[in-house]
Each structure stands twice: as C-alpha cells, then as structure tokens.
Amino acid sequence: MNFFINSWLPLAAGVVAPLALLMVVWWRVAALRGAHARQLAARDALIAGFAGHVSAGELDARLTRSRLEQEQEWQARLDALAAQHLQQLADAGSTAMIECEQTLQQLRADYDQQISHARASMMTEHAALGREVDLLLGMVQTVERWHDEMQAILVNNRHIKEQNDSFARIVKNVVMLALNASIEAARAGEQGRGFAVVADGVRDLALTAGQLAQDYKATLDKNDLVTTTTFQDMQASGNMIRTTVFGLRACSDKILATIVAERDALC
C-alpha cells in the first residue's frame, strides 16, 4: 500500500497538477476569449450602429453642431462677461461722474466765493478811488484861491505903481520948483546965492528921486511879469492835473461798469 501510495501518488500528482493547471489556463483563456469576443461584438455592434445610422455628412453636421453649441456656450459666457464688465464700467463711470460733479460743484462754490470776495474788494477799492478822485477835483477851488490871491497881488502892484507914478509926478514938480527957485535966486543976485545953492541941492535930490522912481517902476514891471506868468503856470498846470484826474475818473467809471456787468452776467 505504501508502495502504491509512494509510487502512484507522485505520478498522480504529476499528472493532475499540470492537468489542473492546464484547466485553469484553459478557463482563463476561455474567459479572456469570451471577454474579447464580447468586446468585438460590442465593437461590431458599435461599428454596425455607426455604419448603419451615422453618415459622414451627418458626422460633419454633428461636429459642426457640436462646435456651434460650444461656440454658443463660449459666446454666452463671453456675453455674460462683457455684460458684467459693461455693468461694472457703467457703475464706475457713474461713480466717477458723481465724484466729478461733486468736485466741480465744490470748485465752483470756491470760485464763486473767491470772485465774490474779489468783487467786494474791488468795489471797496473803487469807492475809495472815487472819493480820492473827487477830493483831487477839489483842487479847482485851490486854483481859484490862487487866482484870487494873484488878483490881490496884481491889484496891490497896480496900486504901488500908481503911488510911484504920483511920486514921479511930485518929483517932476519938485524939479520944476527947484528950477524956478534957481531962476529966482539968480534974480536976487548976491543975496540969493545961498538960496541958489539950496535950490540946486533940491533939484539934484529930485532928479535922484526921479531916477529912483523909474528904477522902482522897472522893478514893479519885472515883478508883474514874473508873478503873472508864475501864477499862469500854476493855473495851467492845475488845469492839466484836473484834466488828468477827469481821465482817471473816466477809467474808474469804466472799471465799475465792467465789475457790475460781470456780476450781472454771472447772476
């Protein structure tokens, strides 16, 4: 028995094991072949399905449709993005507009305030200028005062001249008297000699006085000419200044008109 076992067992093992292995391999191969056959069948069915139902044109159409659908999808996305961006842009623009408007309003308010301040300042300065111009025009009264004083000087000079003329006439008469006295002294002869000396002395004095009266008249003439022309220079210069001040007032009035017109245009 043992021998049987010992002799057949390895033999059996040597036959059964490879047989079993072969069986396993065969089963495995069969399984793979079945799977492969199913895949082939599925492929064939797919091929048959494709071959039976999808033409090349339809395939192109499907591909085109697929592309179109994809394009439409992307376009939709792009449109959505564009719309989103446009909205954002519009929002940003609107915000910027509001901020800009606010800034402009602020600037305008500041500008109006500055203009108003400057206008008020100019009006004040203009009023002050007007007062100064009016005061300057008062110099007409000064020139009139000079004129009155000048007339007084001229009248006084004329009076002095008349007095001098009277003096000159008196001196002339004294000369005549002295001459007559000399004649009378000569008639009196020896007794009149002393009187003749006196008469000659009086005549010499009268002639000297006459020369003095002439010199005095010349001085008065010089005084008249210089005084009169000096006064006239002052009077003419006063007129020149007055004309200039009138010109200043006209300029000042133009400035005021410009300020008022600019203010009215803004209101």
Partner 1 sequence: MLSRDAIESFDHLFEHAIHDNSVSADDVLTQMTRQQERRIAADGESRRLVVLNISSYVFRVVALFDFATDEVTRAHLAKILRCPRSQMEGQGLEDAYAELVNMICGAVHRGLSSAFSHGGMSTPLMLENTCERYVSLLNPSWTQSYAVEINQTVRFNLMACVCVAKGLTLDFALDRSLAQEESAGELELF
Interface residues with partner 1 (CB under 8 A)? Answer: 147, 154, 161, 217-218, 221-222, 224-226, 228-229, 231-233, 235-244
DSSP state of 90: H
CB of 229 to partner 1, least distance (A): 5
Considering only CA atoms, which of 241, 226, 238 is closest in space to residue 147?
A: 238
CB of 235 to partner 1, least distance (A): 4
Six-digit token string for 6 = 């010992």
Question: How distant, in Å, are the alpha carbons of 15, 132, 137, 252, 253 from that of 247?
Answer: 147, 13, 11, 9, 10
CB of 263 to partner 1, least distance (A): 32
CB of 162 to partner 1, least distance (A): 12
Q: Which is nearer to partner 1, 130 or 238 (CB)?
A: 238
Q: Which is nearer to partner 1, 123 or 235 (CB)?
A: 235
Q: Which is nearer to partner 1, 115 or 236 (CB)?
A: 236
CA distance 23 to 2: 30
Q: Which is nearer to partner 1, 198 or 234 (CB)?
A: 234
**Dmax (CA) of the chain:** 239
Six-digit token string for 169 = 């006439």
